[in-house]
Amino acid sequence: MTIHELLSQSPVVPLVQADDPEVAVRVARALAAGGLRVAEVVFRTDRALECLTAVASEVPEMIAGAGTVLNREQAQAALDNGAQFIVSPGLDDGVVGVAQDQGVPVFPGVMTPTEAQRATNLGLDTVKFFPASIAGGVPALKALASVFRHLRFMPTGGVSPANLADFLRVPAVIACGGSWLTPASAIAAGDYDAITTLAAQAVELARDAERTT
């Protein structure tokens, strides 16, 4: 099953941020237990690459990708260490090129019509809308989708249980990304059951949004 097919079933992508591979694995397993099958291991810690490797190799029920990928070198390192997709905060030709050359899905961040148009001309059909809340939220997303009719969007940044359904009801949205599913306080306390509960709640919110679309 492709990542796009998985996202159509469970359109929420949690962010996994850890500096300890064992913690990253436990977080990923907790998310999977809650019904989420795709996770973005973000490159925001010194040992993020080790965390990605661990999740990719030890949590087979989870499709692991790399997030916060800023350059060509990071993209290549991520792919060499098990990433099955790449996510960037912005639109970088080098990152996109590495992923496209190896046939791996890449979701670069866009915020403006200019960036969306450039993504289109790079041959992309799915992009990250980031930071979603600051960039204008649902109204801005609808405006972009009306012009770039073939593009699918993954809003991230400011997405929460309060607005998840609003974003998912936009037909052009393939999934939403978010860090609310992996709160630092729960991870620090070793409360992985709380992460499973948040994941299950997100799955149910996504189903409710689908039913009311």
Supply the residues annotated as catalytic. Answer: 40, 128
- Amino acid letter, residue 67: G
β-strand partners of 155: 129
CA distance 103 to 149: 23
Distances (CA, A) of 137 to 74, 112, 125, 146: 29, 12, 20, 15
> In degrees to the nearest 10, what's the CA dihedral of 201, 207, 211, 213?
90
- φ/ψ of 67, rounded to 5, equals -115, 165
